[in-house]
Amino acid sequence: MITAVQKPFDEIYEMIQGYKKILVLGCGTCVTVCMAGGEKEVGVLASAIRLANGKNGIEMDIAEDTIERQCDREFFDDVKDKIEEADAVLSLACGVGVQFSSEVFEGKRILPGLNTKFYGTTLEMGVWSERCAGCGDCVLETFGGICPVARCSKSLLNGPCGGSQDGKCEVDPENIDCAWQLIYDRMKSLDLLDRLEINEPVKDWSTGRDGGPGKIIREDMTL
């Protein structure tokens, strides 16, 4: 899923100043799972804003709602009226949702309440970890299901750097495992160690972010 964290409160509060009616709009998919922008988080943030407004003597109408997701047009139908009534929408979706909301509701001020982080997984409740960099040319078959692009701090494709010590990455030995240690251990368990001796050629980075904004068209699926 896409992971995100909420922006610092003072940054959010600064963003909404001057508006009389705000809709705090959550997203029920990825950011609910990573506990950044779901219904619960909408409630907490709306409460915090009301308390801050109470303290500062600011009159502001704060509405709250959450839709299934903000990256598909169909889900906006239920909140169309609320969005139209608001002076601005504080969206707790990822960057995709904030932008798509802006496209669907042209002319409406849509503000981002989150900082989008990475494609990742839930390791345990309250802990999420990056797994995919969206490079556009998946090499997981070659590396036993562990991605060197996303999980190696240097995105090396042909083995570890000299900074790999005791299975840890020199960039942050306390918190980052050396991806190449993980790849080695995994390939060993799969009895595929000999495959790591095959040189991985220079990657074509244009298939991902480095090739500019992406677009996918399935002609067989267009109406």
Applying CB under 8 A, the span of 52-60, 75-83, 93-101, 173-181 interacting with another protein comes to 52-60
**54 is a site residue for another protein (CB under 8 A):** yes
Q: Which is nearer to another protein, 14 or 137 (CB)?
A: 14
What is d(CA 197, CA 174) in angstroms, rounded to the nearest whole number?
Answer: 29
The conformation of residue 78, written as its DSSP 8-state character, comes to: G
Using CA atoms, how far apart are residues 204 and 41, in angstroms rounded to an integer? 40
CB of residue 147 to another protein, shortest distance in Å: 32
Give the DSSP per-residue string, 13-39: HHHTTT-SEEEEEEESSHHHHTTSSSH
Task: Out of 17, 55, 81, 197, point to the residue binding another protein (CB under 8 A).
Answer: 55
Q: Using the rule CB under 8 A, give the single segment among 43-51, 71-79, 96-104, 166-174 that binds another protein.
A: 43-51
List 15, 21, 28, 50, residue binding another protein (CB under 8 A): 50
Q: Of 174, 150, 151, 179, which Cα lies nearest the Cα of 164? A: 179
The reply to whether 214 sits near another protein by the rule CB under 8 A is no
Window contacting another protein (CB under 8 A); options: 50-58, 104-112, 197-205, 208-216: 50-58
Residue 189 interacting with another protein (CB under 8 A): no
Site for another protein in 56-95 (CB under 8 A): 56
**Least Å from the CB of residue 39 to another protein:** 10
CA 112 to chain centre: 13
Edge-to-edge strands of the sheet including 2-6?
A: 2-6, 114-124, 127-132
Residue 77 phi/psi, 5-degree rounding, is: -55, -40
- CB burial string 2-41: b at 16+ within 10 A, e below: bbbebbeeeebbebbeebeebbbbbbbbbbbbbbbbbbeb
Binding mask 3-42 for another protein (x = CB under 8 A): -----xxx-----------------------------x--
Smallest separation (angstroms) from another protein to the CB of 60: 13
Q: Would the CA dihedral through 47, 122, 165, 197 be positive or negative?
A: negative
Residues found near another protein in the complex (CB under 8 A): 8-10, 40, 43-44, 47-48, 50-52, 54-56
